[in-house]
Structure 1
C-alpha cells in the first residue's frame, strides 16, 4: 500500500512539474535515415509484438544494486534476455581482465585521427566481449569552458572542431568494436559544483542549501557554434545513444528540455538513437517522456537510489501515464523503437556474447540480485578481453606527450651516466593502482582521473619501473626519491646525477568524490603535493632538470618554467596503463614527440576569463556563459593576452618548414537528399489494451525487493491529472542524420608542402585556422593533419573545408549561413600552432574574383 501511495504522488508531481503546462512538445519520429533503415524495420517489428508493460521494461532500468544480470528490457515471453550498459571511456568499469585506456584528453593531445579510432575500437571490443551492449562513452560534455573543470580529462578540448573530430572518431571506433556508444553529457555540463542537490547539500560546505542543480545559461549562437558543434559529428557518425546531463540549461532541466532533446538533437541534428538520463538527472516522469528522453538509469528518482530504492519516475508510473493519457502510447512506442533500433544497428541480435561479469563486484560468486540477497550463483567469469590493446594504449601515450621545452637538445636521452628520478608521481602507489575506489586519490604516479569515467587497472607501468628497465640496457646508474618532502635527501641525490627527472601532478574528477578538498573540480591550477616547490628544489641543485607532468588539464608553470636549469618539460596527460613505457619511448627517442596542446597554458589563472562557480549565487545557482564564443585561445587572441604556451603548441626532435599554400574552390552545389518517407502519423504499432487490470503484477512472478517492475498495483484507479492548459504533444518528421546534408559538402581544398628540415624522422600536426569575421573569434581551428616526414623529405598536406566549416549560426533563420554569402572574405592561415601560422591565403566573398 505504501508503494501505491508513492506512485500516485509521483504521478501527480510529474504531471504538474517544471514548465509543463501549456507548452508544445514536438517529438520527431524517425523511419530510419540512411543506413539505419534496416535497423528501424527490425525494431518496429520487434516493438509491435510487445505488451505495454514490456515496452516500459525497455525504458526503465531495474534499480540500484537490483541485479548483477541484465538491467534493462528483459522480455522472457520472447526469449529476449535484455540489455546491459556500463561505463566508461577508459575501459569496462568495475571488472577485471580488461584494459585501462588513456584519457580522452590524451586522444586530443595526439591530434591523431587513427589513434582516436583505434583506442575506441579496442574499448568497444572489450565491452562487447564482456557482454555489455552499450557504453556510457565517449565524452564531449564538458567541452572545457573552465580549465579547473573536474571532468575535462574525460573529454577532449575546448575547441569544438578538435573535439568534434575526436568525438566522431571515438563514436565510429567504439561502434565498429560492437558496442553502442552513448555520447555524454548533453549539454553545457561544464562543472561539478552544484550539479546535484543531495550531493552538494550533503557535503555541508555551503552557507545555505541549493534547491536545484545549477543552470547553464547560454545564448543560441554560442550554443550552436561552440557546445553543439561536436554533437553534430557524433550524430553524423551514427551515435547510438546520448546521455542528457545533470545541469539545467536556461533554467529547464536538461532531461526534460524539449528544445534541446526534441527540437535540436532529434529534429535539427536528426539523431536516430535513444536519449538516456544520467544517474539522478531525471527530475520528472511525464515531462521527461514527452520532452524526448527514452531511457532512465539506474531507474530510481534519486542518484543511486539514495532517497529510496525501487522508486521510479517511470516503471509503473510510466505504465500509468500511458493508461491515463498523460504520455501518448505512440511516444512509448517511439522510445522502445529507438532503443531497439540501436541494438539492431550494431547487429547485436547476432552472436552477441552473454553478459559475463558483475559491474563493481569482483568475487566469482555472489547474489544475482544483491539488494534482495536472492539467487546465489556465479556472477563473474573473469573473461580476459584485453587482446593486444596494450600496444594501442602505449602508442596513444607516446604520440600524445607534448614537449614544451627542450634546451640544447636535452632530449632525447642517450645513455646518461647517472640519473636521478624524483617525485611521488614517478613511482607506484603504496596501495596499488586500484587502491582507492574509482581512483579517488592521488597516490603514486597518476595515469587516470577519478569518478565514473575511470576503470580498474590490470597493471600500471610506472615511470620509474620503465626507466630502470631501460637503464639496465645502458648501464645507467639510477637513484630515486619518491617522497616529495624529503628535501635533504633529494638535494643529495640530484647533485650526483648528470640528468634529473622530476615528476609532479595534479588531479581531478567527478563531484561525488572529494580529494584533498577538491570537490571534483580543481580548486586551482597549481601542482599538487608541493609539486611546484619540488621542481624548484631539484632545479636549484641540478643544472639539467627534466620536468614531467601528469595532469587532467592546464597547470600554471610560471614559478619554474624560465629557470635555466629546467632544460626540458614534458606534459604527459593521463596516459593509462602503459604510462611509463609511453614516456620512455619519448625520453629516449624511439618516438619523436608529436603531441600538441589541446588548450592554452596561461601565465595567470585569471587570463582564462572563465572559471568554476565555487559559491552558489542563488538557491538555483546561475552559471552565465557571458563570454559567448570566446573561451580558451579564442579569448586569449581576442583580448590580446600572451599565453605561456598557446593552443596547438608542441615541439619535436626535428624541425619542419611550411610552404606553397594553395586554395582550390570546388563545386558550391548543395547536396539535397531525398528524405525517407517519415510519417507524422503517430500510430507506430497497433494500439494496446488500456485496461489497467491487464497490467497488474502477474501471479506467475515472485517480486524481488527494491527491483523496479513495470506493473501497477491491483485495483488501481487510474487518475488523470488536469493540467491547465494541457500540453500539446505532436509527432513530427525527424531531420537528416547530422543535420542539413549540405553542411557536409566539401567546398574548398587547401594544400601545402611540409618539409622536414631536421635530422630525424618525425610527425608534424599541421593546423588550419580560418578568420570568419561576423563577430567570431579572431581565428578558429578548422582543419588538422598529422603527417610523418622523413629527414630531408617533403609531404603534401591536404585539408578539405566543408560548408559547416565556413558557416555561422543565424539566430533569425535558425540555420547555418556561409559567411562568404554575407560579403565576408575568409582568411586562411596554416602552421604549427594557433600563434605560429606562416602561410596565409584568402577565400573571397561570393561574387568577388577568386585569388
Structure 2
C-alpha cells in the first residue's frame, strides 16, 4: 500500500525531500547527477527515445497509453519520480491535434515573421509565456518551439514559423520567446539546427557552406537565441551540412554547440531525422524522437545497446545523454511544477495574440494618407474568406482553432493541411468599427463582380492570400488563384483600394503602383480579424518593420530558381549557400548593389519620427549608441531605431543593435543601444574565436537598411572576444 501511494505521489509530481534530486535548493547539475546515479541501464535507455504521441490508423500507429495525444511521449518513471514527457509542436501556439478538451483548441500567435517584425523582444517573451501557460494548463511540459532558421529563401514554405533573415533580430526575438515559454515551467527547444532554410528535399539535401560564413549567419542566430533563451533542448534538422546529417554531425553538435558554446542541455532529433546509433550518439545526439514511426528503426534502443557492448560507444556517453536531459528538466522546473489540467484565461491569451499582430503587421504603402480609414460612408470588403476568418500556415505548427476551422473542406485536407482559417473574421471586426458606414462583402472569386461592388463604395479593402506549409516550397512569388487580376480589377474601379496580405513571405505585387495602401498582415493568428480592423481604422499605429528584404524579382536572389520546387522537377542533391555566405538578405542586396522593392527594417506609420543627436561612447570596449527619437507627427505611434555597423573588414553594413519606443505626439526620448560585439567582428576559423579588427567603424542610425543618416565614425582597437 505504501509503495503504491509513493508511486502515485511521484506520478502526480509530489516530491518529498528524502532524495537529493528532489531538493529544489540544489543546482540542476547536482540534482541530475544524483538522480542519474540511481538509474538502471534500462531506465536510462527509456529516457533517450520518445514515442510518437498521435494515433495514425492508416499507418498502424496507436496512441501510447498515457500520452495526451500530440507530437511525442516518454512514459513516467514512478520509481524515481521522473514525470512523463508530454511533447507538443508549438511554433505559434500549442499544436494539439487531438484536443485534450474536445472543441477547446488553443490560441495561435500570428506568424513568427509578424512577431519578428515587431522588433520587440518583450512582446515576443509575452507571446512565449502565453503559449507556455496554455501548454502547462493542458498537461504538456515540452514544446517543440523556437524556430530560428534564417530566411535565405523567400519561397520556403516554412518561413512563417521563423523570425526573418537577420541573425541579431532572429536570435533576440526567438530567444525571448523561448524565455517566455520556459517561464511557465515548460521546456522549449530551439530548432531546426542547422541551415534547414528550405523545405524542398529537406530530408536528403546537403547544404554546402564554409565555416566562417555559417558562424556569422545561421549559427550566430542559434548562438544568440540560446544565450538569450537558454532552451532546454536543441532540435537537430533533417538536412545534411557539408556531407553529414545534421543529427549525426560532429561539427555542429560536439564542436560548436557543446564545445564552443558550452551548451549544457540536450539534443533531440527532428521527427524522422535519426539515421544511426553509434555515429549519432558519438556525434552528440542525446534523444531520438518518435523513431518507431519515423526513423528506419529505433536506433537508440537495441542498436545503441549493441554499439555500447561492442565498444563503439562509451558507457559514459549514455550517462552524458541522460544527465543532459535530466538537467534541462530540473533547470526549467518540470519536476517541481508539474503540468496538469487547469483553467485557461482565453481572453488574456487572445489579447496577447491581438497585440502581437498589431505590433507586427507592416504598412508597406499609404498614398495620400488613405489609412487610417476616417469613417467612410461605405466600404467594400473583398476576398480571402474575410467574412469567415484569417488564414493560417500548414504543417506541424498548425494550431487547432477554438470553435473549429472557419472554412473547412479546402484542399489539401490531409498533411500538410488541412487548410485552416482562425474564426476571427475581418468583416465583422470592420463592421464593428465602421459606425454608420455601409459595409458589403464580395468573395472575390469573380473579378468583375468584385469591381462592381468596389465602384459603388468609397473605399475597397481587398484581402489576398497565399497558403504555405511545412514540407513544400513555392516555385515563385506569384499570388495563386488569379488574385492579381482581382486586385487589378478592383483598383481600376476604385483607386481608394487597400490591399491586406495574408501571406507566408514576400509576394509579387504587379499592381502595387495602382493601389492606395498595402498592409502586410502575414498569417494574423487567433485574433487577427480584430487586429487588422484596429490597424485599418487607426485604433493602433502600425509599428511593424520588415524582418526580411522584399525583392523586386526572383532574378535578384542568390538562387533565382529553386531547384525541385516546381511540380515534376527533380529534387536537388545539394544547395550552395557559399554564393551569399554570411551576407543573407539585405546584406546580399548591398553587396550586389541591388534595389529591393522594400528594404529590411522598412515600415510606414500614421505619424512621423525624427532621430536627433546621435552620440557614441565606448563602455568596456563596446560602442553604445544613444539617439534622441522624437514623434513629430500628430498621432501616437512607435518607432524602431536601427543601428547598422560597417567594420574595417567588410563593405557591407550589418544590423548591430535596435530598440523600439512608443511616443505621444511631440514626445521625445533618448534610446541607448549597446551594440552586439560579434556584429563588429569576424569569426576566425583557425582560433575558433570572434576577432575584432582594429580600425575605423562606421555606425549608421536609421529607419531601415537603406534609410540611414550619415555615419558616426569610431576607432576601435583589435580585440579577441571572450568565448
* Length-normalised TM-score, structure 1: 0.74
Q: Rg bigger for which structure? A: 1
Q: Please tell me whether residue 767 in structure 1 is matched to residue 717 in structure 2.
A: no
Q: Which one of 66, 71, 80 corresponds to residue 69 of structure 1? A: 66
In structure 2, distance between residues paired with 1:555 and 1:291: 40
Instruction: Please tell me whether residue 662 in structure 1 is matched to residue 588 in structure 2.
Output: no
Q: How far, CA to CA, are the matches of 1:528 and 1:619 in structure 2?
A: 23
Whole-Å separation in 2 of the counterparts to 1:146 and 1:458:
25
Match of 1:614 in 2: 564
State the alpha-carbon separation in 1 of the partners of residues 256 and 219 from structure 2.
9
Unaligned segments of structure 2, at least 5 residues: 1-20, 53-60, 68-72
Q: Does 1:139 align with 2:10?
A: no
Partner of residue 48, structure 2: 59
| Partner of residue 236 from structure 1, selected from 217, 227, 230 | 227
1:78 aligned to which of 77, 80, 83: 80
Matched, 1:346 2:297: no
How far off its partner does 1:604 sit?
Answer: 1.0
SS of 1:521's partner is coil
1:558-637 correspondence runs (5 A): 559-563=510-514, 566-610=515-559, 612-614=562-564, 621-626=573-578, 627-637=580-590
Q: Output the CA distance in 2 between the equivalents of 1:847 and 1:58.
A: 47
Residue 39 of structure 1 is aligned with which of 15, 23, 28?
28
1:7-51 C-alpha deviation (Å, 9 max, x unpaired)? xxxxxxxxxxxxxxxxxxxxxxxxx9xx99800110111111011
Q: Would the alpha carbon gap of residues 386 and 332 (structure 1) be closer, same or farther in structure 2, given more than 3 Å must change?
A: farther
Mapped pair 1:220 → 2:211: yes
User: Could you report, residue by residue, the CA deviation over 1:622-643 in whole angstroms, capped at 9, with x for unpaired residues?
Assistant: 1111221222111111111111
Shift of 1:109: 1.1
Distance in 2 (alpha carbons) for counterparts of 1:58 and 1:594: 45
- Of structures 1 and 2, the one with the larger relative CO (CA 8 A, separation 6+) is 1
Q: Deviation string for 1:614-666 (max 9, x for gaps)?
A: 27999970111122122211111111111111111101101111111100011
| Aligned mates of 2:423, 2:174 — CA distance in 1 | 26
Partner SS state of residue 516, structure 2: strand
Whole-angstrom distance in 2 between the partners of 1:602 and 1:328: 51
- Contact kept? 2:190, 2:235, Cα under 8 Å: yes
Match of 1:507 in 2: 467
- CA distances 1:167-209 after superposition (whole Å, capped 9, x unpaired): 211121111122111111000111111123xxxxxxxxxxxxx
For residue 463 of structure 1, the aligned residue among 402, 417, 426 is 426
- Normalized against structure 2, the TM-score is what? 0.87
Q: Are the structure 2 counterparts of residues 227 and 436 from structure 1 closer, same or farther at C-alpha, using a change threshold of 3 Å?
A: closer
Contact 1:290–1:327 (CA under 8 A) maintained in structure 2: yes
Q: Matches of 1:331 and 1:657 in 2, distance apart?
A: 57
Equivalent residue number for residue 650 of structure 1: 603
Give the superposition deviation at 1:129: 1.5
SS at match of 2:336: coil
SS in 1 for 2:256: helix
Pick aligned residue for 1:391 from 328, 351, 355: 351
Distance 1:281 1:844 in 2: 47
Q: Do 2:371 and 2:536's aligned partners in 1 also have CA atoms closer than 8 Å?
A: yes
> Residues of 2 paired with 1:263 and 1:809: CA distance?
15
- Equivalent residue number for residue 497 of structure 2: 545
Distance 2:440 2:431 in 1: 9
C-alpha distance 45-268 of structure 1, shift in aligned 2 (>3 A): same
CA contact (8 A) 1:438 1:455 kept: no
1:107 aligned onto 2:60 = no
Q: Deviations over 1:130-182 (max 9, x none)?
A: 221111111012x1111101111100111111111112111211111221111
- Does the alignment pair 1:283 with 2:158? no
Match of 1:825 in 2: 696
CA distance in 2, matches of 1:478, 1:331: 66
- Residue of structure 2 in register with 1:748 after alignment: 623
Alignment counterpart, residue 632 of structure 2, candidates 749, 757, 771: 757
1:281: how far off? 0.4
| 542-551 or 234-243: bigger deviation | 234-243
Of 644, 650, 653, 1:779 maps to 653
Aligned equivalents of 1:619, 1:607: Cα separation in 2: 22
Find 2:473's aligned residue among 518, 521, 530: 521
CA drift of 1:312 comes to 1.0
Q: Is the 8 A contact 2:426 2:528 kept in 1?
A: yes
Mapped contact 1:433–1:460 kept (Cα < 8 A)? no
Relative to structure 1, is the Cα distance of residues 620 and 51 closer, same or farther in structure 2, using a 3 angstrom cutoff?
farther
Q: How far is 1:773 from its partner?
A: 3.6
Please report how far the alpha carbon of residue 455 of structure 1 lies from its aligned counterpart in structure 2 after TM superposition: 11
Bigger shift: residues 321-330 or 408-417: 321-330
Residue matched to 2:671: 797
Aligned equivalents of 1:265 and 1:578: distance in 2? Answer: 37
Tell me if structure 1 keeps the 8 A contact 2:168–2:655. yes
Taking the aligned partners of 1:575 and 1:586, their CA distance within structure 2 comes to 12
**Structure 1 residues 468, 140: CA separation in 2 closer, same or farther (over 3 Å shift)?**
same
What does the per-residue CA deviation read over 1:784-836, in whole Å, with 9 as the maximum and x for residues that have no partner? 1111111112110111024323111012222100123xxx3111000111111
Q: Aligned partners of 1:180 and 1:756: how far apart in 2? A: 41
Instruction: Label 1:433 to 1:799 Cα distance change in 2 as closer, same or farther (>3 A).
Output: closer
Which residue is equivalent to 1:298?
Answer: 290
Query: Secondary structure of 1:275's match?
Result: strand
Select which of 46, 49, 62 maps to 2:38.
49
Work out the CA distance in 2 between the residues paired with 1:581 and 1:469.
9
d(CA) in 2 for partners of 1:320 and 1:809?
Answer: 40
Deviations 1:72-96 (A, max 9, x none): 1532433434211111111111223
Equivalent position of 1:846 in the other structure = 717
Contact 2:548 2:599 in 1 (8 A): yes
Deviations 1:258-278 (A, max 9, x none): 111011001101111110001
Aligned residue-pair number: 667
* 1:98-150 deviation per Cα after TM superposition (whole angstroms, max 9, x unaligned): 21222211111111121111001111111112221111111012x11111011
Query: Please, which of 65, 75, 88 is the counterpart of residue 90 of structure 2?
Result: 88
Task: Tell me what 1:159 maps to.
Answer: 166
| 1:231-380 mapped onto 2 (5 Å cutoff) | 231-237=222-228, 238-300=230-292, 303=294, 311-354=297-340
Q: Deviations over 1:707-736 (max 9, x none)?
A: xxxxxxxxxxxxxxxxxxxxxxxxxxxxxx
CA contact (8 A) 1:274 1:338 kept: yes
d(CA) in 1 for partners of 2:111, 2:573: 30
Counterpart CA distance in 2 for 1:231 and 1:335 is 21
Q: In 1, distance between residues paired with 2:703 and 2:629? A: 11
Deviations along 1:666-717, one digit per CA (max 9) or x if unpaired, are 123xxxxxxxxxxxxxxxxxxxxxxxxxxxxxxxxxxxxxxxxxxxxxxxxx
Residue 677 of structure 2 corresponds to residue 806 of structure 1: no
Gaps of 5+ in 1: 1-31, 197-212, 357-381, 512-519, 669-746
Task: Report deviation, 1:489.
Answer: 1.8
- Structure 1 distance, partners of 2:25, 2:148, is 23
Q: Which moved more, 1:656-665 or 1:66-75?
A: 66-75
Contact preservation (8 Å) 2:654, 2:679: no
1:169 to 164, 170, 176: 176
**Structural RMSD (CA):** 3.0
Confirm or deny: 8 A CA contact 1:440 1:450 kept in the other structure.
Answer: no
Does structure 2 retain, via aligned residues, the 8 Å contact 1:89–1:137?
A: yes
The answer for the alignment partner of 1:681 in structure 2 is none
